[in-house]
Amino acid sequence: MIKINDAGHANIKKEHLSYFKKQGLDLLRKYAGQKYKHPFEKKVMEYLRDNYEKVLIGNPEVLADTIITINKLTSGHPFSKTTNRKLQAVFDYDIFSNRSPGVKGTNWGGYLLVKNLGVGTCPYCNRQYITTIRNRVRRKKGTRKSLWEGQTRGTLDHFYDKKRYPYLAISLYNLIPSCKVCNSDFKGRQEMTMTDFIHPYKEEFGSEVRFTIVPNGGTAGQPYDVTFLLGNNTEEFHIDFRYLSPDPDFTRRAKQNIELFKIKELYNFHKEEVRELLQKSQHYTSDYIDTILSQSGTLFNSREEVVRFVIGNFAHGANHDRRTLSKFTSDIADELGLLKYLDTR
């Protein structure tokens, strides 16, 4: 739903590649030089050895091409258990995900990755915050082992399942910071590809898939009487989507994301927020916005800040990853006419 901005990823890529060079590259080179019962397995190991940078830090399109290339090398045959274990050892997600900065002998890992990505909310649903917290380290009594006294971070979803594609288990663009609900409760082992789903590093819903209010008995996109929806009864309407993209393939994939992550079902638990926006749309006018701005001294610097105060969230898509429900709030506020009070659109 929300695109992950990778504009500042140069240092992250550098750290990620450096980590693999220390952690798995020597092992990969060793395995690539060994003999295999099935010739295609050796070819795969050699390909990964020669193209490890693409595998580790290549963008989503590069990863998709990597899968195609390896599928051609294997002719669709599965890896043997031995080769699969070797791939899991080289691209060891368990070691990577459990690395905590500050513990002796560890550097780059899951915690630092999520922290440095700076993704504020789950890109799949925009309903849960992704927060990284590290409390101080203490020494475990009677041992040399260091322990954290409390830590948390967002989960890392594998867009391409790490069991099916073990060589992508720690690929940077295959690790999607996300909430537990989306990653574990809804997606699980569901197969995802860019052919059938929206990849958060590549696309987002933006203005082409928008939340909308639909009176019961109506259809998405049809005009409705706002005053009819006012009051305490939120059972008079439901939340749905308007699909505005001229590209039917994009719409198809967006619908797949909505279905997989139960976006429509989840957001229909937020009708109270819609009711408040309905009330605000009837209360605030352009003149009222100007009055608030002119009489608030230095509290607000622009009409945009006043509008953000009124709707209780960010209005522009560039900030949607910073606060939960921001995409939802912005779409509904726009539909109700509240965003027309912005200085610029």
DSSP β-bridge partners for residue 240? 212
> Regarding beta strands 175-178 and 155-158, do their DSSP bridges make them parallel or antiparallel, or are they unpaired?
antiparallel
End-to-end Cα separation, the chain, in angstroms: 21
Q: What is the DSSP letter of 318?
A: G
CA-nearest of 279, 239, 286, 277 to 258 is 239
Given this model, what pLDDT does residue 147 score?
A: 61
pTM of the shown model: 0.90
| Tens digit of each residue's pLDDT (9 = 90 or more) over 267-317 | 999 999 999 999 999 999 999 999 999 998 899 998 889 999 999 999 887
Banded pLDDT at 345 (limits 50, 70, 90): very low
Q: What's the pLDDT at 223?
A: 86
Q: What are phi and psi of 18, to 5 degrees?
A: -60, -40
Paired with 177 in beta bridges are: 156
Q: Which long-range contacts (CB under 8 A, 24 or more apart) does 300-303 make?
A: 302/343, 303/341, 303/342, 303/343
User: Has residue 184 got a pLDDT over 80?
Assistant: yes
Percent with pLDDT over 70 in the chain = 92
d(CA 237, CA 218): 9
Domain boundaries of the chain, sorted by first residue: 10-187, 209-341
Q: Which residues contact 187 (CB under 8 A, 6 or more apart)?
A: 124, 157, 260, 261
pLDDT at res. 144 = 57
- pLDDT value of residue 236: 86
Is it the case that residue 330 has pLDDT exceeding 90?
Answer: yes
pLDDT in tens, 99-119: 755 555 557 899 899 999 999
